[in-house]
Amino acid sequence: MKKLPNFKLLDCTIRDGGYLNDWNFDKKLVREVYRSASKAGVDIVEIGYRGNADYFDKKTYGLWRFSEEGVLREATEGIYGAKIALMADFGKIKADDFVKKAESIVDVVRVACHKNNIAAAVKLLQKIKRKGYQVSLNAMGYSNYTLKEQKKLVSILKDSGLDIVYAVDSYGSLFPGQVKQLLEPLLRISEIKVGFHPHNSLQMAFANTLEAIQAGAHFVDSTFYGMGRGAGNLPTEIIVLYAELMGNKKYNVIPLLNCIDAYFIPLHKKWGWGYQLPFMLSGMYKCHPNYAKNLVEFREYTIEDICKGMEFIEKANPVGYSHEIFKNLVGGGLVGRFKEAKTSQKTKIHKQKPQKIPYINRYKDRDFLILANGPTLKEYKPAIDKFIKKINPIILGANNLSGMYVPHYHAFNNKRRFMMYADMVSKHSKLFLSQYFSKELINEYSNSDYEKIYYKDSFNANFDIKEGVIQTNCRTISILLLGIAIAMGAKRIFATGMDGYVDLKKNNFLFYNEQDEKEDHNLIVERHRSCEKFLGQIDRYLHKKGKEGLHILTPTSYRSYYKGIENYLG
């Protein structure tokens, strides 16, 4: 095996791992990390962030988001070994947040910044250096720098007096063959040492680190058990073990393994960092991991749809994560925006849309019942069966009905759910499928008779119906079916199982939680409020047409529309 050149190892477990628990690490754990890293031969331990309280609420974050001098001393007192580093985010820190080096146990200060703030971040680091610290600029998203941006970075760094510059593979998008070429412009700055910070989105952190060391990197970063946001980082124990096996006598992996066994295996069970599909996608498309994570957690798009969305984000080349870009992408209709065919969206929809929507006024002045998927659908089944027998409504069912009901029309506008539940649709129900489903997808998962439903794939638009086409996707299929019922000529519209995604007063989740569909709390609340908005718009639409409003017959957190089913069974 090729011998590794000399390098220094910086462990940033507490700082990088803190993204998972808001830096709420126990002091004893931090002390043991510092102790075992020092015994293992790690050169520098980055114990946490230094954060200005003007930007961070101390009630929200743990000790290690601020890493005050007294706390640092308590965690390291009596242990001698690795130097101590702190990280700071540019724009959320001031030079005055650091005392003079003579009054601090901190040795290295690193400031992370994106490419649009390099010059200002360098000036900040120069002020901190004058206090006596060794300083490092961490260039976030460096793997996405253009050649022009690399040259600009190099010109700013020359004669800056900084000690270290880090190339940060923020999205874990690099492969080994790319590392040397990426580092070369920085390595040519003779007066500055070069560091490499890998992420493990594509499982390349270790391979890329070895390439960086062979290319001449002076510093590399790692964390215990790979702990870190998303797919995590290079595991400290792996690089230490490898260096030890290569004959470097300064390293000893055993103290790290003891610490991992005692503390980090339990932490991993709780926080679950590591290789996951969203983070693989973020590496694949060189984008902030939150884009892929949020698209996957929406549980509304196939991976093919998500990949097309990620292509759009990659081309937009945003700096870091932009909630506005994500909101516009999804709200404007991800599926409608990215067609499988090479034709434009406008042309594609024109081809799909017939001269007249065939189901307009198909059941004029009939009562309709929408079967949504809340738990009350099962709980109230006897009463719902009686209601159906008495009222004789046209029944539109949504997604997974678990074989409990046989609706006249069984509808899907979510490709994932269609792929999962199409085989559970009764042969006596006609499929109602999104206009955005391709013929190939439908034929692969069903041989049943089907009809397309027509709407625009956007939930930024307000509810309206023009020539039978609903002008928004209404956020969920059961809400969309309310609009379809109107288009079909409904006299009255009833709904069951429309429990709401969350009871906002009690903060309890109410939706039918299918086996693989665990969603982020904030996304569920957002979905609930979005549906509530459309319910209000649909209710007002009905009133303007001189009809009764919506009637949700089973208990619901959309209380404005609740009218108990018992009122119709007497």
Dist. CA 63–CA 71, nearest whole Å: 8
Which pLDDT value is given to residue 339? 45
Range 8-271 has CATH code 3.20.20.70: yes
Q: Which of 281, 293, 163 is nearest to 219 (CA)?
A: 163
How does DSSP assign 479-532, residue by residue? HHHHHHHHHTT-SEEEEES---SEETTTTEE-S---TT----HHHHHHHHHHHH
Which pLDDT value is given to residue 227? 97
Residues in the chain, pLDDT under 70: 1-2, 297-300, 328, 330-355, 502-523
- Angle between helix 27-40 and helix 69-76 axes, rounded to 10 deg: 60
Which pLDDT value is given to residue 502? 66
Which pLDDT value is given to residue 196? 98
Which pLDDT value is given to residue 416? 81
Four-CA torsion 395, 396, 400, 405, nearest 10 degrees: 10
Dist. CA 305–CA 419, nearest whole Å: 14
Ordered alpha helix ranges (H), 158-302: 176-187, 205-215, 236-245, 254-259, 265-271, 277-284, 289-297
Token pair for 128: 């901190």
pTM passes above 0.75: no
Residue with tokens 């040259």: 151
| DSSP 3-state of 136 | strand
Which pLDDT value is given to residue 568? 93
Residue 278 near residue 311, CB atoms below 8 Å? no
Which pLDDT value is given to residue 57? 83
Q: pLDDT tens across 481-526, in order?
A: 999 999 999 999 999 999 987 664 444 444 444 434 445 566 677 7
Which pLDDT value is given to residue 355? 54
Which pLDDT value is given to residue 346? 38
Residue 228 near residue 17, CB atoms below 8 Å? yes
Which pLDDT value is given to residue 348? 40
Which pLDDT value is given to residue 513? 45
Which pLDDT value is given to residue 298? 66
